């Protein structure tokens, strides 16, 4: 599809307007109004939808926003659902199915709106227990049983994220053996933000190598998602982490803004605006945010939930860090300094350590050091 923005017109804009009106984000169009025009009202409605769904709030309908809009037009029962390997079915109806199955004790995996193998397995088990044909097809008979049995007590797929928390607790405080995928953004021909003589792809790659070295020194298995001359898609990066059986996924980026006054660090984790959020991802994002802000002096732009593919398609807790604005002279000067990137890498490592410590022998933000981590690992090994 083409990217749609204010000023565009055509039947695809009319489709978007219809979906937004169905969600009460736009008033119904009457008479011969310009129903196929992307005007200011449509832009504001798109922004509201994007903010609600944890998407990039830019008022532009690109592939991610269009897919979310199309998905929002479905409710459970409006179409049959099944697993398709070539093109997984996506929509709010799939999300509702995943939540219902999870509430009933069937592990459908993270509720992300994609009908994948885990959803199919859970659905077949549910059908078998209900003495329905276990064909993995969510049709009228299955939906009737889901409505009949669903309880309003548990919402948001929380059992999935409680399992994430329990896995962290059982993993123990030692870092040795933990498998972390470090994902330097962009790469290859995709340079990311280019400003002030710096390229985001180069900054992210250098930072990833520094973080990799520190993690390996503690006994962790650190894997980098791409080579210096490659730029995988977000789905390819997620697949790399899933195939590796990663415990955590850390995506490294820098930001830009038309205003040179925009600056600081922000961290992101999975959340979709429907009350579903990765508990471990949110906790780790908070640790990273506080450590990096305290150690570097970068402005603290807080943590935020998003429903980006890099979060919905990874099976482990994932965090994306936007470290500074290359369009801000002060941030760019800092990021251009290798010693500064060492500080950032140490802050991220300490944040990961805090996640697994779960309060055991913890220290105030910004005071825990790499040497402390190594000493703790050595003590636990004895």
Per-residue pLDDT, 155: 47
Q: Same domain for 88 and 63?
A: no
Residue 157: pLDDT over 60: no
For residues 25 and 45, the answer to whether their CB atoms sit within 8 Å is yes
Indicate which CATH number applies to the domain containing 68. Answer: 1.10.101
Q: Same domain for 127 and 184?
A: no
Q: Same domain for 224 and 103?
A: no
When pLDDT is averaged across residues 271-299 and rounded to a whole number, the result is 90
Rg (CA), the chain: 22
Per-residue pLDDT, 103: 82
pTM of the model: 0.81
Q: Same domain for 188 and 281?
A: yes
Number of domains into which the chain is organized: 3
When pLDDT is averaged across residues 201-220 and rounded to a whole number, the result is 97
Residue that finishes a domain, picked among 40, 73, 106: 73
Residue 331: pLDDT over 80: yes
Residue that finishes a domain, picked among 39, 73, 107: 73
Q: Same domain for 132 and 269?
A: no
Is there a domain that residue 15 lies in? yes
Is there a domain that residue 59 lies in? yes
Indicate which CATH number applies to the domain containing 273. Answer: 3.40.630.40
Q: Same domain for 92 and 208?
A: no
Residue that finishes a domain, picked among 73, 92, 126: 73
Q: Same domain for 147 and 34?
A: no
Q: Same domain for 316 and 221?
A: yes
Is there a domain that residue 162 lies in? no
What CA–CA distance (Å, rounded) separates 291 from 195?
Answer: 26
Q: What confidence tens digit (pLDDT) does each residue in 110-141 have?
A: 788 899 999 999 999 999 999 999 999 999 99
Q: Pick 361 or 20 by higher pLDDT.
A: 20
Is there a domain that residue 254 lies in? yes
Assign 382 a pLDDT band (cuts: 50, 70, 90).
low
Q: Same domain for 51 and 12?
A: yes
Per-residue pLDDT, 105: 84
Is there a domain that residue 2 lies in? no
Indicate which CATH number applies to the domain containing 122. Answer: 1.10.101.10
Q: 134: burial class by Cβ within 10 Å (0-12, 13-18, 19+)?
A: middle
Q: What percent of the chain is predicted at pLDDT more than 90? A: 70
For residues 335 and 294, the answer to whether their CB atoms sit within 8 Å is no
Domain extent at residue 117? 81-157
What CA–CA distance (Å, rounded) separates 137 from 139?
Answer: 6
Residue 261: pLDDT over 90: yes
Which residues sit opposite 224 in a β-bridge? 182
Q: Same domain for 376 and 294?
A: yes
Residue 30: pLDDT over 70: no
Assign 160 a pLDDT band (cuts: 50, 70, 90).
low
Is there a domain that residue 164 lies in? no
Per-residue pLDDT, 164: 76
| CA 381 to chain CA centroid, nearest Å | 34
Q: Token pair 């978007």 is at which residue?
A: 16
Q: Same domain for 127 and 269?
A: no
Is there a domain that residue 3 lies in? no
Q: Same domain for 250 and 107?
A: no
Is there a domain that residue 167 lies in? no
């Amino acid at each position: 599809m083409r990217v749609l923005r204010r000023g565009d017109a055509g039947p695809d804009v009319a489709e978007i307007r219809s979906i937004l009106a169905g969600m009460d984000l736009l008033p119904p169009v009457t008479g011969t109004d310009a129903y196929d025009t992307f005007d200011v009202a449509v832009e504001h409605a798109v922004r509201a939808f994007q903010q609600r769904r944890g998407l990039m709030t830019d008022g532009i309908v690109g592939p991610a926003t269009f897919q979310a809009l199309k998905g929002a037009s479905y409710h459970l029962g409006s179409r049959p659902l099944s697993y398709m390997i070539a093109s997984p079915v996506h929509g709010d109806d799939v999300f509702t199915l995943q939540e219902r199955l999870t509430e009933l004790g069937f592990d459908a995996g993270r509720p992300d709106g994609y009908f994948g193998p885990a959803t199919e397995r859970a659905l077949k088990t549910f059908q078998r227990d209900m003495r329905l044909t276990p064909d993995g097809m969510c049709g009228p008979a299955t939906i009737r049983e889901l409505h009949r049995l669903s309880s309003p007590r548990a919402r948001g797929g929380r059992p999935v994220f409680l399992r994430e928390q329990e896995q962290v607790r059982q993993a123990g405080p030692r870092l040795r053996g933990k498998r972390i995928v470090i994902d330097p953004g962009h790469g290859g021909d995709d340079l990311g933000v280019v400003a002030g003589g710096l390229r985001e792809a180069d900054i992210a790659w250098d930072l990833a190598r520094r973080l990799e070295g520190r993690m390996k020194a503690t006994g962790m298995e650190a894997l980098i998602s791409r080579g210096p001359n490659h730029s995988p898609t977000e789905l390819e990066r997620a697949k790399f982490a899933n195939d590796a059986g990663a415990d955590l996924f850390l995506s490294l980026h820098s930001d830009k803004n038309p205003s040179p006054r925009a600056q600081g660090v922000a961290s992101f984790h999975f959340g979709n605006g429907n009350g579903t959020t990765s508990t471990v991802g949110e906790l780790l994002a908070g640790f990273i945010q506080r450590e990096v802000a305290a150690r570097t002096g970068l402005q603290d732009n807080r943590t935020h939930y998003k429903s980006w593919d890099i979060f919905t398609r990874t099976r482990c807790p994932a965090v994306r860090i936007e470290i500074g604005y290359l369009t801000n002279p002060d941030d760019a000067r800092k990021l251009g300094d290798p010693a500064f990137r060492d500080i950032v890498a140490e802050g991220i490592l300490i944040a990961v350590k805090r996640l697994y410590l779960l309060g055991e022998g913890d220290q105030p933000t910004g005071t825990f050091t790499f040497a402390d981590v190594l000493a703790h690992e050595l003590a636990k090994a004895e």
